[in-house]
Amino acid sequence: MSAACENTPVQAVVFDVGKVLVEWDMRLLFAKLIDDPDQLDTFLSTVVTQDWHFEHDAGRDLAEMVAARKVEFPGHDHLLDAYATRFAETLPGNVPGTHAIVQELAARGVPLFAITNFASTFWHQYRASEPLFDLFADIVVSGDEKLVKPDRAIFDLAAERFGHDPHTMLFVDDNAANVAAARALGWQVHHFHDAAALRADLAARGLITA
């Protein structure tokens, strides 16, 4: 990103959701269902893998992908059913400090948006229980759009919908590949590690208090 872009005042802040606003860990659910740690590791590395879950984030139909997985991995039906019906148990709580930042930005009138890799079914279940997102003007959800970060298409769609030029928006994400993709497209970026560092960055940009 150019120095000129770095010095452009931020007109809007765009958040990732998972691991920025809400904690997410698939292991939390399946540790309740698989007692042996080695079997749990094997299950998460072969059956309900990050890559397989990512297909759902990208818009693959939940019932179809679970049915196909049951055929591929017989004997795991109850665990795959749990993936489909108990996803809320993979979300243990909010990321410390970030909801307060969102609320402060909103109180100061900063436009808020989000781009999230989140399966459509799971997103709408979670969204219904989380009023924080009432503060967001728009949220681009990968499972709804069948587009995923870090692909350019989802960032281009977001910029069009949000109504701000990328260089005037600050994109906040914990995933280095997503941050790099946004930066290459001219967005201002913050690679999220914790709320304290995010607050310091936002304060330096004059958006909230230190």
Domain locations along the chain: 3-23+93-204, 26-90
pLDDT digits (tens, 9 = 90+) for 69-99: 999 999 999 999 999 999 999 999 999 999 9
| pLDDT score, position 209 | 86
148's CB contacts (< 8 A; 6+ apart) are 54, 57, 58, 117, 142, 154
CA distances from 169 to 14, 18, 151 (A): 7, 19, 18
| pLDDT score, position 193 | 98
Q: How does the average pLDDT of the chain come out, rounded? A: 95
| pLDDT score, position 1 | 43
Judge contact between 160 and 166, C-beta under 8 A: no
Topology of the domain comprising 3-23+93-204: Rossmann fold (3.40.50)
Q: Could you tell me the two tokens for 84?
A: 């489909």
pLDDT digits (tens, 9 = 90+) for 19-62: 999 999 999 999 999 999 999 999 999 999 999 999 999 999 99
| pLDDT score, position 10 | 97
pLDDT digits (tens, 9 = 90+) for 107-129: 999 999 999 999 999 999 999 99
Judge contact between 52 and 44, C-beta under 8 A: no
| pLDDT score, position 5 | 54
